[in-house]
Amino acid sequence: MSTAPGTGRDKIMASVRRALLVRGDEPGRRGLVRARLERTPSGIIPERAQKPKPELIAGFKAMLEVQGTGVYELAHINELPAALAALLAALNLPAKLRHGADPLWHDLPWEDTLIEREEGPAQPEDLVSLSRAMAGAAETGTVFLTSGADNPSTLNFLPETHCVVIMADAIYGSFEEIWRLIRQIHGKGNLPRTVNLVSGPSCTADIEQTIIRGAHGPRRLGVFIVGGA
């Protein structure tokens, strides 16, 4: 975008500065911004995000269900293939899915099912995808999906049915806790290319206030919580 004087960008930024009653070149302003970025202070954490882990898991599940997500609880990750097979059969979908290169999938008892699996980014013809959430926020029922070869972002958007696995101990109360965790894992200033926040199946009510699912992504979202019993 051009930064020449008089461009739309300059006009917008000038309006912002006028509203803030600043010029933008005041001594110390850049230092204040730099210090805030270095400290990464947390925002306000709502009361519903400050509860014991069992209550957070229950709240996480309830928030997802309110937003139209199917939630399934598994005692152990080895139960996942059978649970996925049952879900696909109930939805009258082919026993076939695509997932990333996450090592978590490799040693599961897939041979006990008829599910066919393909690995890599989603393709236009894929009907079902499987992702692993690195964390979940109970305050809004949101799963955090970081991108990479183990979890291609296309899995979150192209297939009509998106299945997400999250470990119960990766469910936190607030967004602030999870962003702090992401910085700890990847290193500050070295975040994943994308972090997708998903709280339910894609839907819109732009046309006559009628809910339409699948407008911008999957029509169905299924979240499998492992180890929360």
Q: Along the 229 residues of the chain, how does pLDDT read in single tens digits?
A: 444 556 889 899 999 989 988 887 787 877 888 887 777 777 888 888 999 999 999 999 999 999 999 999 999 999 999 999 999 999 999 999 999 999 999 999 999 999 999 999 999 999 999 999 999 999 999 999 999 999 999 999 999 999 999 999 999 999 999 999 999 998 877 888 999 999 988 665 555 655 555 466 689 999 999 997 5
Q: Is 15 helix (H, G, I), strand (E, B) or coil?
A: helix
Q: What are the residue boundaries of the structural domains of the chain, listed by start?
A: 8-39, 47-226
Q: Which CATH class is domain 47-226?
A: alpha beta
Q: Which pair of structure tokens corresponds to residue 48? A: 């519903």
The residue with tokens 């269900």 is: 65
Distance separating alpha carbons of residues 11 and 207, to the nearest angstrom: 33
CA neighbours within 13 Å on the CB side: how many for 17?
Answer: 12
Contact 63, 199 (CB under 8 A): yes
Q: Is 193 helix (H, G, I), strand (E, B) or coil?
A: coil
